[in-house]
Amino acid sequence: MSDVTDPIPPEARAANLELWNAWTRIHEHAPGYHTEAFKAGATALKPVELEELGPYVREGTTLLHLQCHFGLDTLSWARRGARVVGLDLSDEAVALARRLAGETGLADRAEFICSDLYAADRRLEGREFDVVFVNWGAIEWLPDLDGWARIVARHLRPGGVFYLAEVHPFAYLLSEDAPEGELRVEDRYFPTPDEPDVQPVTGSYADPNADTEGLIAYGWAHSFAEILGSMVGAGLVLERFREHPYSPAPLWSWMREDAGHLFWLPDAKNGQRHDQPFSYTLLATRPDH
Amino acid sequence: MLDDYLKANLASWDEAVGLHVGSELYDLAGFRAGQSSLHDLELGELGPQVGEGTTLLHLQCHFGLDTLSWARQGATVTGVDFSGRGIAQARALAGEAGLARRATFLQSDVYSLPDKLDGEFDVVFTSWGALIWLGDLERWAQVVAHFLKPGGTFYIAEFHPFAYLLADDSTPDRLRVGYPYFQYGEPQRFDESADYADPSAQPEHTVTFEWNHGLAEIIDPLLRNGLRLDHLHEFPYTIPGLPFSFLEPDAGGMLRVKGHRDDFPLSFSLKMTKET
């Protein structure tokens, strides 16, 4: 069902779909996803998401989660009272999300749609939501952020809120192979939409030891100028922008995990270093008029 | 403590005025001959909004070359700097250049400016190496918003936060992070024997205190003070004056990172509009 105007090249789409289906099978029971804890009532959302977007999500709030993977975060918003729609390219992820919605009694307020991101308009038609939500390692799979931001804006009601919690561009620049404790700049910062970064996959951010033999990832770098520019260009008004010294997943095995499942650079005394950015959050609104 | 930081930085900047007036980098002769000290970036992005009668406030203006360059373009300008020597030099230059009628200079640090200056401006402008001298961007953003007319434009062209991150011994094969991105209020102490504009000078006041700031730390308080983002642009080059050994000039004289000439951000510009 790929769209004729989809900016993702067919070989990239095929490889990433295969990867996300494989990762779905791995992630249901992976250490980095706490699926059993979620089933037992824990939220999968990070503290910063609850703090910043939480006040906008109440009983009956309609929320669209783009690139929702297997829906743990989507369903965590549903548990807080939202009526949620999760959209993802992976058919296996959507199937698992629906199963989890049923198992947790949230099926009546959670809908999952299997769709490429750039085909979302066709699947969602004219539906508008109070909140559009995107988080953690989503936009790296997209070559064209202008098109992405227009999709976000089209599915927000006037006055609605767009919230993005993402891995920091700085984190994508750094070498994975530098000696422990060293942050070394290796990759480019500025985007090259026509030249994806094509890499063999070794394990997963949620389970470094998983068998991912033969899988390949196609990704795209994004700068802050591009990210913020796409939102302004789509008519969204930026309200908040924050950067954070922790990562939602370990970039290196020597990062330290805290009780909220955030990963930090260790300092010399085995505490947390707060001096480098590994994530950011953005909140924007669609104007009323 | 804050006063100690301010005192050390002020001594350094007071002394820098004397060093910079004769330096090649500031090219006073070129300015006197009619050239603009502004770069293509500022002229291209803000220039179209600065014409006859535009009122412009320049924060942290040093000795006023950029302020007066906007005045030459027709603006009625107010330049503010914490260095009394910088302000005295700026006034002298304004008189010399026949711009005294449309240029006012005022000695003040950024934070206390609302106590010393009245009015609202069409444009608030600041640039290149200004923000590292400020520890509190919340108060800075309040000052920017305070002096902007509804519908007025804030513009900044600055060194990118990433440009301040790399270790001094970085090489093209090993660009190592050596400085904090988040400063959390406590400045770094530097003791630099060389001046950025005149490497041959031997300044007496070498100790300074500087604050790195992340992009969000710069942009977020402006958003919360009623400014709307028009653009954030980022560039893999910057103007001369950063004294890092891992930079090299390109054909146009801009600095880039050796071995990463198009990859790594060294400057940014931000344009915002105060809501009406």
Whether B180 sits inside 8 A of A229 (CB atoms) is no
Whether A243 sits inside 8 A of B214 (CB atoms) is yes
pLDDT band at B157 (very low <50, low <70, confident <90, very high): very high
Chain B closest CA to A7's CA: distance in Å?
23
Checking if the pLDDT of B231 tops 70, the result is yes
Checking if the pLDDT of B49 tops 90, the result is yes
Lowest mean pLDDT among A101-105, A225-229, B180-184: B180-184
Whether A225 sits inside 8 A of B234 (CB atoms) is yes
Average pLDDT over residues A208-220: 97
Per the prediction, chain A carries an average pLDDT of: 96
Is residue B238 within 8 Å of residue B254, measured between CB atoms? yes
Candidates B183, B161, B176; CA nearest to A174 is: B176
Candidates B212, B31, B43; CA nearest to B132 is: B212
Nearest-angstrom CA–CA distance, B21 and B213: 28
CA dihedral B275, A146, A243, B127 (to 10 degrees): -60
Number of domains forming the structure of chain A: 1
**Structural domain harbouring B85:** 2-274
Checking if the pLDDT of A90 tops 60, the result is yes
Select the residue of A187, A232, A242 nearest B229 (Cβ to Cβ): A232
Chain A closest CA to B235's CA: distance in Å?
9
Lowest mean pLDDT among A45-49, B42-46, B193-197: B193-197
DSSP 8-state code for residue A153: H
> Which residues of chain A are within 8 Å of residue B233 when distances are taken between CB atoms?
225
Checking if the pLDDT of A2 tops 50, the result is no
Residue A1, chain B, CB below 8 Å: the answer is no
Map residue A215 onto helix, strand or coil: coil
A6-61: pLDDT as tens digits: 999 999 999 999 999 999 999 999 999 999 999 999 999 999 999 999 999 999 99
In a domain, A180, yes or no: yes
Q: Work out the percent of chain A whose per-residue pLDDT is above 90.
A: 94
Average pLDDT over residues B131-159: 98
Checking if the pLDDT of A1 tops 80, the result is no
Nearest-angstrom CA–CA distance, B25 and B267: 18
pLDDT band at A212 (very low <50, low <70, confident <90, very high): very high
Per the prediction, chain B carries an average pLDDT of: 95
What does R_g of chain A's alpha carbons equal in angstroms?
18
What does R_g of chain B's alpha carbons equal in angstroms?
18
Q: Cβ contacts of residue A64 below 8 Å, gap of 6+? A: A84, A85, A87, A124, A127, A129, A131, A132, A133, A155
Checking if the pLDDT of B265 tops 90, the result is yes
Average pLDDT over residues B88-102: 97
Predicted local confidence at residue B3, as pLDDT: 86
**Structural domain harbouring A157:** 10-285
Find the CATH number of the domain harbouring B166: 3.40.50.150
Nearest C-alpha in B relative to A186: B175
Characterize B142-174 residue by residue with b for buried, 16 or more Cβ atoms within 10 angstroms of its Cβ, and e for exposed: bbbbebbeeebbbbbbbbbbbbbbbbeebeeeb
- Substitution target in B138, B162, B276 with the highest count of A β-carbons within 10 Å is B162
Which segments of chain A are extended strands (E)?
62-66, 83-88, 110-114, 129-135, 156-167, 184-185, 197-200, 216-219, 237-244, 256-257, 263-266, 272-273, 279-285
Select the residue of A185, A243, A245 nearest B215 (Cβ to Cβ): A243
Select the residue of B231, B234, B265 nearest A232 (Cβ to Cβ): B231
Number of domains forming the structure of chain B: 1
> Which residues of chain A are within 8 Å of residue B175 when distances are taken between CB atoms?
184-186
A169-199: pLDDT as tens digits: 999 999 999 899 899 999 999 999 999 999 9
Which residues of B touch chain A, with CB atoms under 8 Å apart? 162, 166, 174-177, 180-184, 214-217, 219-220, 223-224, 228-234, 236, 260, 262-265, 268
In a domain, A2, yes or no: no
In a domain, A68, yes or no: yes
Predicted local confidence at residue B173, as pLDDT: 86
pTM of the model: 0.96
Question: Please, what is the angle between helix B84-96 and helix B65-72, to 10°?
Answer: 30
Is residue B103 within 8 Å of residue B68, measured between CB atoms? yes
What are residue B150's phi and psi, to 5 degrees? Answer: -55, 130
Predicted local confidence at residue A200, as pLDDT: 97
Task: Give the β-pairing of A279-285 and A237-244.
Answer: antiparallel
Predicted local confidence at residue B106, as pLDDT: 98
Find the CATH number of the domain harbouring A179: 3.40.50.150
Checking if the pLDDT of A3 tops 60, the result is no
Nearest-angstrom CA–CA distance, B7 and B1: 10
Checking if the pLDDT of B172 tops 90, the result is no
**CA–CA distance from A9 to each of A117, A142, A215, B117, B228 (Å)?**
13, 11, 17, 57, 35
Whether B223 sits inside 8 A of A238 (CB atoms) is yes
Lowest mean pLDDT among A10-19, A214-223, B161-170: B161-170
